[in-house]
Amino acid sequence: MSFWRQLTHGLRVLTNRTAADGDLAEEVQDYLDQTTAAFEAKGLRAEEARRAARREIGNAILVREQVRASGWENVVETLLADLRYAARQLRNNPGFAATAILILGLGIGATTAIFSAVNPILFKPLPYPRSDRIMMIFEQRDGGERLPSFGTYEGLSERSRSFEAMAAMKPWQPAIVGIGEPELFEGQRVSAGYFRVLGVLPALGRDFQSADDQYNGPNVVILSDRLWRRRFSGDPQIIGRQITLENSSSQLAVNSSFTVIGVMPAGFENVLAPLAELWAPLQYNPSLPPDSREWGHHLRMVARLHSGVSKEQAASELDAILPAFGKAHAKGFESAGGIPAGVIVTSLHDHVASNVKPALLAILGAVVLVLLIASVNVTNLLLARGAQRRGEFAVRAALGAGQRRLMRQLITESLLLAVLGGTLGIVVAKLGVRVLVALSPPGLPRVAAIRVDSAVLIFALAITTCIGLLVGLVPAIHASRNDPHSGLQQSSRRSIGAHQGVRRSLVVSEVALALVLLVSAGLLLRSLDRLFSIDPGFDASHILTMQVQESGNRYARDDARARLFEQALESMRHLPGIASAAFVSQLPLSGDYEVYGIEFEAYSGQAEAAFRYAVSPDYFKAMRIPLRRGRLLDEGDRAGAPVAVLISESLAKSKFHDRDPIGQRVRMGPNMGHADKPWATIVGVVEDVKQLSLGVNEAEAFYTTPAQWAWVDNAQSVVVRTVGDAASLAAPVRNAIWSVDKDLPVVRVATMENLLAQTEAQRRFALIIFEAFALVALVLAATGIYGVLSGSVTERMREIGVRAALGATRESIVALVVRQGMTLTAFGMAIGLLGAAAASQGIVAMLFGVSPLDPVTYIAVIAMLGSVSLLACGVPAWRAARVDPAITLRAE
Amino acid sequence: MDETNTDVIQGTLDMLILKTLSLEPMHGFGIARRVEQISRGVFKVNPGSLLTALQRLERAGWLDSEWRQTENSRRAKFYALTRAGKKQLEVETADWTRRSSAIARVLKAEG
């Protein structure tokens, strides 16, 4: 009730101030009249009565002011007046206003954009119910995380009691055929519990059941909402419909007609495979035959903990299960490289964020530095403005404005600036988010969730307010300390010294912050340099690659499939501009990862896990992988001939040290541990090749021809060495493949150089951002130095004039100004060096082959920052040197 | 000028206004005069404080106001007690009585 009255009364006054004031004036006047009348009634004469009444009541205006000031609306009114005044101030100084708003807008915008990218990845929980219970499970081998095989998954999921649901998954790239153009989709093969683990059920139809996930079970598929709307125009009758899929990732021929059983909800975000649009059951063989794909390490495993079970408890339970299960399936595990040492359980959120966390945190740190520099710069601008407005403040103070009133005015002004800057910042952030997503490395998780949402807006508002207060505070305290007396004397320059002191220390801090950013950017740059100078083991120039995904159903038999790939090679060889061409089962640096076991006759029973490559003989020629010993594979290594194997130098060294491995015998993959299977013979040693990334040293590998491996892979990559530009041959090569079979899906077309660059996409992403930020910091710091020096030159005009009149040379005056500027720079750099040494520890995870205290980087940055600030000193110095002593002295 | 303190005791102005208006609706000057008369000149009400208090009490919902003709046909702003105002007066009177008698007891004990 009373609140309502407060509000309505206050609003009435606010909206109609004249009427309210009139009312009040009338009431006060009436009071005065009645008092007068009362005095008259006592017998005083009219004139006397009026005087007596005035005496009793006091100043009518003061009475009115007293009543006016008591309502809450008065505070609002003052604020509005302050705002109007502030707006007028900015309008009258458009140059200053635009500069400050631009700097703040860029600073706030950059920070907000980065925050909107970092927030969903690092801070927000994943978009699943109780997402903290979702765990990833890995095999532990050689001290690291390795993908589990289906055998491991089956063993653990059958025996473990710690989890509500468990699932294994692998990528799947089926093509939808039969309706319009064949189109290749990203999908996943998952075990039945997959959606239960995530806690999201289909919006339409049903989830997978264990009956769906049977060996040779029914072909059922669940669609994403997007695919359902795009390809099937959101048909509500879709459940039960048959669609035809060409399944490309199974080695077995499968019926290509799939029944749609469900459609996922529109908001479903699949962080484990963000691009996946359809899901089918895994349908592996639970009897785990030892020489089958069930033992390949190509599955990912995810599980949901029972409530009350901790990650550690679950891990130790799984660790306990493993040995007994391993004994029961010794053969299977042998073909998979042995029983893993244990399991590693990490939360899905950590798993999703882990790869990008160091980069994101570093970028977040960098943007905070940029924001700080921007704020310092604007504070400096405000201080300079404050110096020009000293007269104005002095007049206001002299007219009775209190210190607090003046401070409030200044803070209002800086808040207004910040809000305008923040508004611009949100626009900048919206654009920035788009740029970020476009630039983002391919592995960046939750890209779909990166947007300017309410959390981001609140964040922007919060930093805007903080900055408004922060940048306004120093100038406000400054202005309120000014002595109005000296301010009124326009020529007075007495308080300049202290004032310049604050501005100088701000410039010092700007230089220091800029140095921190420059050093970080420099260290990243050097790291990338180091990485790209690493020899990948092959010659990446002039290589074109693409993947051919032969669909399982038409070339069901290995020999038919082998012939298909041979014919494709043949048709490519006749193209002009091609030096050599080959197929490989997994392409280095492409994200492919396939490891199989290999056992050596000389060390019987000991299994080793290594990258397995099935390559056509020209592969080494096309990739220019040097041969170290023995011979390369050739056409003679065909089906039926004794199996020939090449091994990598690392594998040779780890097994045979200095002895000659040529002629040693091995069994690989599905043949391991089978005494009835023939031994294969090592015929040569080739140089190590980087498979995962340039920075990862994992190079134990073996090579066979496809004809001599247990099966012919249905997804193989083409490697073409071209004479000229690699990219320009993409179309002819693809057409050559299609000339053999026009329905073969061809994907992942890229030059090897592109792939090489992609492997370091994350570091490169961080580097681009750091470079941009460092550049901004450098420019802002230089502007800061320039601003302070030119201000100081203007203020010291007279002193400089006197010096010149007394015979100071131009050189000595230039030196005077430059010395002043470079002293600031030197101080800033000294502080910045300490900051950089500390900050570089934060980006250690992103550095490669470079110490965080790398002297080359530090020296280069100091030289660069020094020369830029010298440049910034140059203009004011030049101006000082041109001071005409006659003019300055006459002006006195 | 005589040196006797005629200020209204702090915190009691609201109560005095409410009490005065409980007799009949009145304008500002009338309230001031009535307080002065009934207190036999012990309290003099300052118009600035009075009008501020009236605005506050009105916003609190204890008073209503309207412009009316006075007996000598002038326009004046009349204040009247609302129902909530009556209740407030009772509360404040009870509170005041309790506290003033307590003060009286303390003073007597000392005397």
**Average pLDDT value for residue range A529-556:** 83
d(CA A891, CA A875): 23
Q: Write out pLDDT tens, residues A715-768.
A: 899 999 999 898 889 889 988 988 888 777 787 888 999 888 888 887 888 888
> For every residue of A389-444, which 3-state class applies, written as one string?
CHHHHHHHHHCCCCHHHHHHHHHHHHHHHHHHHHHHHHHHHHHHHHHHHHHCCCCC
Interchain contact, A63 vs B60, CB within 8 Å:
no
Q: Write out pLDDT tens, residues A614-654.
A: 999 999 999 999 999 999 999 999 888 999 999 999 999 99
Contacts with B43 (C-beta within 8 Å, 6 or more apart), sequence order: B6, B7, B8, B9, B16, B35, B36
More confident residue, A131 or A444: A131
Task: Determine the residue of chain B that is closest to A10 in CA distance.
Answer: B59
Interchain contact, B48 vs A31, CB within 8 Å:
no
Quote the pLDDT of residue A675: 81
Quote the pLDDT of residue A251: 40
* Position A283 pLDDT exceeds 50: yes
Write the DSSP string, A276-323: --EEEE----TT--TTSGGGSS--EEEEEEPTT--HHHHHHHHHHHHH
β-strand partners of A836:
none
Q: What is the DSSP letter of A724?
A: S
Task: Determine the residue of chain A that is closest to B74 in CA distance.
Answer: A30
Q: Write out pLDDT tens, residues A233-259.
A: 899 999 999 988 865 444 443 447 889
Give percent of chain A above pLDDT 70: 94
Quick count: other Cβ atoms within 10 Å of Cβ A79?
A: 12
Interchain contact, A27 vs B48, CB within 8 Å:
no
Residue B97 touches chain A, beta carbons under 8 Å:
no
Quote the pLDDT of residue A254: 44
Residue B64 touches chain A, beta carbons under 8 Å:
no
Nearest to B59 by CA among A248, A732, A828, A13: A13
Identity of the amino acid at A600: F
Which residues, numbered 6 to 35 in chain B, qualify as contacts with chain A under a Cβ-Cβ cut-off of 8 Å?
A: 27-30, 32-33
Identity of the amino acid at A124: K
Quote the pLDDT of residue A199: 94
Interchain contact, B61 vs A5, CB within 8 Å:
yes
d(CA A220, CA A674): 36
Quote the pLDDT of residue A490: 52
* Position A552 pLDDT exceeds 60: no
Backbone angles phi, psi at A464, to 5 degrees: -60, -45
d(CA A885, CA A810): 12
**Average pLDDT value for residue range A156-166:** 92
Interchain contact, A33 vs B27, CB within 8 Å:
no
Half-sphere exposure of A149 (CA within 13 A, CB side): 34
Residue A604 touches chain B, beta carbons under 8 Å:
no
> For every residue of A467-531, which 3-state class applies, written as one string?
HHHHHHHHHHHHHHHCCHHHHHCCCCCCCHHHHHHHHHHHHHHHHHHHHHHHHHHHHHHHHHHHH
Tokens of A772: 């941009």
CB distance A64 to A1 below 8 Å: no
Write the DSSP string, A129-142: TTGGGEEEEEEEET
Contacts of range A433-442, beta carbons closer than 8 Å, 24 or more positions apart: A433/A113, A433/A116, A433/A117, A435/A113, A436/A113, A436/A114, A436/A117, A437/A117, A439/A765, A439/A768, A440/A117, A440/A765, A441/A356, A441/A761, A441/A762, A441/A764, A441/A765, A442/A758, A442/A761
Q: What is the DSSP letter of A44?
A: -
Which of A1, A6, A27, A39 is the best mutation test for B, with the most CBs of B within 10 A? A27
Residue A14 touches chain B, beta carbons under 8 Å:
no
Q: Write out pLDDT tens, residues B54-74.
A: 888 888 888 888 888 877 777
Distance (Å) from the alpha carbon of B9 to chain A's nearest alpha carbon: 19
Q: Where do the DSSP E strands lie in A663-725?
A: 665-668, 680-686, 701-704, 715-722
d(CA A128, CA A137): 18
CB distance A301 to A153 below 8 Å: yes
Residue A9 touches chain B, beta carbons under 8 Å:
yes
Distance (Å) from the alpha carbon of A408 to chain B's nearest alpha carbon: 25
Tokens of A326: 């391993």
* Position A670 pLDDT exceeds 90: no
Residue A648 touches chain B, beta carbons under 8 Å:
no
Quick count: other Cβ atoms within 10 Å of Cβ A545?
A: 25
d(CA A598, CA A613): 12
Contacts of B35 in chain A (CB under 8 A): none
Quote the pLDDT of residue A252: 40
CB distance A266 to A203 below 8 Å: yes
We find that the CATH architecture of domain B13-110 is Orthogonal Bundle (1.10)
Q: Which helix (H) or strand (E) holds A344?
A: strand A342-347
Backbone angles phi, psi at A288, to 5 degrees: 50, 60
Number of H helices, E strands in chain A: 28, 24
CB distance A222 to A208 below 8 Å: yes
Residue B86 touches chain A, beta carbons under 8 Å:
no
Tokens of A93: 């100084």
**Average pLDDT value for residue range A494-518:** 80
Quote the pLDDT of residue A3: 77
Tokens of A846: 């992103």
Instruction: Out of A534-538, A671-675, B2-6, pick the least confident.
Output: B2-6
Quote the pLDDT of residue A478: 77
The side-by-side arrangement of strands in the sheet containing A543-549 is: A578-584, A715-722, A543-549, A746-751
Quote the pLDDT of residue A757: 85
More confident residue, A571 or A69: A571
Nearest to A571 by CA among A462, A732, A397, A779: A732
Interchain contact, A5 vs B77, CB within 8 Å:
no
* Position A496 pLDDT exceeds 90: no
Predicted TM-score (pTM) of this structure: 0.75
Interchain contact, B48 vs A66, CB within 8 Å:
yes
Interchain contact, B58 vs A24, CB within 8 Å:
no
* Position A892 pLDDT exceeds 50: yes
Residue A38 touches chain B, beta carbons under 8 Å:
yes
Instruction: Out of A174-178, A507-511, A545-549, B24-28, pick the least confident.
Output: A174-178
d(CA A146, CA A282): 20
More confident residue, A869 or A54: A869
Contacts with A809 (C-beta within 8 Å, 6 or more apart), sequence order: none
Quote the pLDDT of residue A133: 94
Q: Where exactly are the structural domains of chain A?
A: 2-70, 149-339, 357-532+761-890, 552-744
Interchain contact, A71 vs B51, CB within 8 Å:
no
**Average pLDDT value for residue range A557-581:** 88
d(CA A314, CA A305): 8
Residue B77 touches chain A, beta carbons under 8 Å:
yes
Quote the pLDDT of residue B110: 62
Contacts with A587 (C-beta within 8 Å, 6 or more apart), sequence order: A545, A547, A717, A719, A755
* Position A173 pLDDT exceeds 80: no
More confident residue, A544 or A711: A544
Quick count: other Cβ atoms within 10 Å of Cβ B111?
A: 5
Quote the pLDDT of residue A326: 85
Distance (Å) from the alpha carbon of B27 to chain A's nearest alpha carbon: 9
Interface pTM, i.e. ipTM: 0.85
Contacts of B49 in chain A (CB under 8 A): 66
Interchain contact, A2 vs B61, CB within 8 Å:
yes
Identity of the amino acid at A416: L
Quote the pLDDT of residue A371: 92
Interchain contact, A30 vs B27, CB within 8 Å:
yes
Contacts of B33 in chain A (CB under 8 A): 38
CB distance B53 to B11 below 8 Å: no
Contacts of A38 in chain B (CB under 8 A): 29, 33
Mean pLDDT of chain A: 86
CB distance A488 to A391 below 8 Å: yes
**Average pLDDT value for residue range A512-533:** 92
Instruction: Out of A327-331, A362-366, B94-98, pick the least confident.
Output: A327-331
Write the DSSP string, A737-785: HHHH-TT--EEEEEEHHHHHHHHTHHHHHHHHHHHHHHHHHHHHHHHHH
Interchain contact, B28 vs A27, CB within 8 Å:
yes
Contacts of B29 in chain A (CB under 8 A): 30-31, 34-35, 38
- What is residue A77's three-state secondary structure? helix
Which of A2, A30, A56 is the best mutation test for B, with the most CBs of B within 10 A? A30
Q: Does residue A818 come out as left (phi exceeding 0), alpha (psi in the -120 to 50 range) or beta?
A: alpha
| pLDDT class of A489 with cuts at 50, 70, 90 | low
Contacts of B27 in chain A (CB under 8 A): 30, 34
Placement of tokens 């003989």 in the chain: A617
